């Protein structure tokens, strides 16, 4: 992506790309934490707190990750469009 701070579209796209990156990192981290908690519970025995934490990680991770993935594809498609590449349609 060209570094042209005078172009508000590119500046906005860069901001969205940064938010997407953070959202994906947080979402996947929560999924990873849920897996760690799952195996911890499997080894030590599930408690209500462990089960709640697993469900919360999966729910919050999904709520964060789903829009991050969609916006990530949108940013990549816009970059391809700016470069004059086909979007595949």
Instruction: Write down the domain spans for the chain.
Output: 12-72
Distance CA 20, CA 6 (A): 22
- What value does the mean pLDDT of the chain take? 91
pLDDT tens digits, one per residue of 13-39: 999 999 999 999 999 999 999 999 999
What global pTM score does this model have? Answer: 0.81
């Amino acid at each position: 992506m060209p570094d042209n701070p005078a172009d508000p579209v590119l500046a906005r796209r860069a901001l969205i790309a940064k938010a997407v990156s953070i959202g994906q990192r947080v979402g996947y981290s929560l999924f990873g934490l849920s897996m760690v908690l799952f195996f911890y519970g499997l080894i030590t025995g599930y408690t209500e707190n462990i089960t709640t934490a697993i469900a919360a990680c999966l729910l919050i991770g999904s709520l964060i990750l789903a829009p991050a993935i969609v916006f990530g594809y949108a940013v990549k498609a816009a970059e391809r469009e700016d470069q004059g590449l086909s979007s595949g349609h």
